Structure 1
Amino acid sequence: MKKAALPADETLRLQSLENLNILDTSAEERFDRLSRLAKQMFATKVAAISFIDANRQWVKSCIGPLNQEIPRDISFCAHTILSSEPLVVNNASTDPRFCGNPLVTAEPNVQFYAGYPIKHANGTILGTLSIMDDEPRGFDDYDIACFKDIADLVQSELRAIQLTTQDQLTGLLNAHGFQVLSQNSLNMCERLNAPASLAYFDVRGLKKINRSQGNREGDNALMFFAELLTFGFRDSDVLARLESDKFAVLLTNTPIANTQDILDRFKERVDRYAVEKKLPYTLDYNVGVSWVDAEGDFDFTELLGIARSFATKAKP
């Protein structure tokens, strides 16, 4: 086996990684959903999002059997960060860089590996999106293109952290974060010829709640609605609070017929929640929906504008 060299910008790279404050943090759904997506799309044993520290590969998100820390000396991902191009190892047992690697000769018995470099906004490569399997396999140009789409989503999540794109009250994405991640998700749908839908929610009566129950209860109402969105939609969907009482969800790989069923079930959940919690108000809302199929225009701004328009027209 061959130990990976150090990148030319190693000092800046490590400083950028430290400044991100992501090492040794808890699991986050924003990354786990992308690991699940990669594992499902390529049907591998393992999918992971990792960062290369000074002496270790630290795994932020992993679906499948893989240690959270791996010595950098034996890390496949330590080789991936040496280039802006993906690294594909079709058969590790016959690759001189990895054939004697303990990750190959013992658990998890890596035979196939593909890694895509994940960059900081300043261009340094912090880590990788990787998939692994215990059998050799092929990985063609189309696979690499799809793999890049998911890696772009991981990179967007990192930049979302850097740009502070989280809504502080609800924990959902804010408007900027929603735009960045939604357009990347739409790009992936377009490449895969997969449909997508966007639902825009206008929560009614917030001012009335603030007046009658106080601003704190108004904030609680918004947090309740965000919680219901989180449980009512899939892990792979993109959720956001755009403005004070405006929310949105991008549903990837979802035709409009399925979207309507999802929205009907969500409405039932919202109504049931208000009764179960004995809220002194109802969480009424208007919703507008836009969608795009394989032949359509996967443009975020247009989809959001159409959904917002429908929600506005739906007002009583």
Structure 2
Amino acid sequence: MIEASNPSNEQHRLEILNSLNILDSDRNERFDRITRLATRVFNVGISLVSLIDKDRQWFKSEIGLETKETDRAISFCGHAINSSEILIVEDAQNDVRFHDNPLVINAPFIRFYAGCPLKYRDGTILGTLCIIDAMPREFTDEDRQLLRDLAAMVENEIAALELATTDELTKIANRRAFFSVAQSLLKVCERKPDTCFSIAFFDLNDFKFINDNLGHDAGDDVLITFANKLQQSFRVCDIVARIGGDEFAVLYAHEKKEQIENAVQRFEKSINQFNRNRIDYQIKYSVGVVEFSCKDNPSLDAMLSKADSLMYQQKRALKQSS
């Protein structure tokens, strides 16, 4: 078996994949409809929408396969993302890259594979729409075009999913995306009870004053700047979202609480630097941070409520001191 090398833009590719908040998300009939169609038109046993994460391939949709992920090291799709062309393996037993692959010599006993790259809007390859069968076969030019057409449908669904989970003004995750990812992380808790997370809940202070006195364009600038500073201060793998008009939240996985405290401090320094260069308005905010362990079987509503309460405690303290 020959393990696939990483694409040259691997870091950028993973950043985009994580920003879409699609990994570990729930089943979606829009994707399943395409994989069902693929199994029928090509008469194969398996069809997958496979997204290549750092160490695994995860299936947004899987027809004919009873697992949601496999190791990236043994994936056919890991090879497919290294080219913009369809990867065709007519008989895996006769291919030096795959003849002794665990997925070939064991279930699902792959013989035939065809994977069409799934591209993000900037051309970055995120994964594949692939079809798999336990019998070798040829793949014609007409077959290739049909697979490309189906892959384009998957790409359109990914784009629509991104629009539905992105805040239109700030271009960060919206409330829907935040809650979806948070619920997925709680599912991770069931498998990895030693994992710790934190939620940071931010609320802008005096935002109404800026809107009323400087206009909504200035208010929009504040929201966009605030969102950009949050993204710059936290990690790419953290979920930064606008969950209300002037409310933002960050979901942060960590080993030590000091990690999120350092990120909050970086954000504070960034905002202070911004404020020093402004004379028309100052960005002010309150924040509440709550840490939770998967061992505690946490409730998302309870965590947000606690973070919100801590944020308002800080807001009241700031008003009393001013």
> 2:244 maps to what in 1?
243
How far apart, in 2, do the equivalents of 1:112 and 1:257 lie? 41
User: Does residue 98 of the first structure (1) align with residue 80 of the second (2)?
Assistant: no
Does the 8 Å CA contact 1:274/1:282 hold for their aligned counterparts?
A: yes
How far apart, in 1, do the equivalents of 2:228 and 2:254 lie? 23
1:247-286 correspondence to structure 2 within 5 Å: 247-275=248-276, 277-278=277-278, 280-286=280-286
How far apart, in 2, do the equivalents of 1:191 and 1:297 lie? 12
TM-score by length of 1: 0.56
1:293, distance to aligned residue in structure 2 (A): 2.0
- RMSD of Structure 2 on Structure 1 (CA): 4.4
> 2:234 maps to what in 1?
233
Structure 1 unaligned regions, length at least 5: 1-25, 39-50, 65-76, 115-125, 129-156
> 1:31 maps to what in 2?
17
1:88, distance to aligned residue in structure 2 (A): 5.3
Does the 8 Å CA contact 1:228/1:269 hold for their aligned counterparts?
A: yes
User: Does residue 83 of the first structure (1) align with residue 62 of the second (2)?
Assistant: no
> 2:289 maps to what in 1?
289
How far apart, in 2, do the equivalents of 1:163 and 1:33 lie? 12
Structure 2 unaligned regions, length at least 5: 1-11, 25-33, 76-89, 105-127, 131-156
> 1:161 maps to what in 2?
161
Does the 8 Å CA contact 1:196/1:291 hold for their aligned counterparts?
A: yes
Does the 8 Å CA contact 1:196/1:255 hold for their aligned counterparts?
A: no
Cα displacement string for residues 6-43 of structure 1 (whole angstroms, at most 9, x for unaligned residues): xxxxxxxxxxxxxxxxxxxx9684524699x99xxxxx
* Partner-residue secondary structure (3-state), 2:280: coil
How far apart, in 1, do the equivalents of 2:259 and 2:253 lie? 11
* Partner-residue secondary structure (3-state), 2:167: coil
Larger Rg: 2
Identity across the alignment (%): 24
1:159, distance to aligned residue in structure 2 (A): 11
Does the 8 Å CA contact 1:160/1:177 hold for their aligned counterparts?
A: no
1:197, distance to aligned residue in structure 2 (A): 0.3
1:163, distance to aligned residue in structure 2 (A): 8.3
1:280, distance to aligned residue in structure 2 (A): 2.1
Say how many residue pairs are matched.
220
Cα displacement string for residues 235-261 of structure 1 (whole angstroms, at most 9, x for unaligned residues): 111111011100000001343232222
* Partner-residue secondary structure (3-state), 2:164: coil
Tell me the amino acid that sits aligned with residue 208 of structure 2: K
* Partner-residue secondary structure (3-state), 2:217: helix
How far apart, in 2, do the equivalents of 1:185 and 1:82 lie? 26
Change (3 A) 1:260 1:62: closer
Change (3 A) 1:251 1:163: same
1:75-224 correspondence to structure 2 within 5 Å: 81-86=63-68, 98-101=92-95, 103-104=97-98, 111=101, 127=129, 161=161, 164-192=164-192, 193-224=194-225
Does the 8 Å CA contact 1:195/1:292 hold for their aligned counterparts?
A: yes
Does the 8 Å CA contact 2:50/2:129 hold for their aligned counterparts?
A: no
How far apart, in 1, do the equivalents of 2:49 and 2:187 lie? 29
How far apart, in 2, do the equivalents of 1:165 and 1:86 lie? 22
Does the 8 Å CA contact 2:18/2:237 hold for their aligned counterparts?
A: no
How far apart, in 2, do the equivalents of 1:297 and 1:160 lie? 33
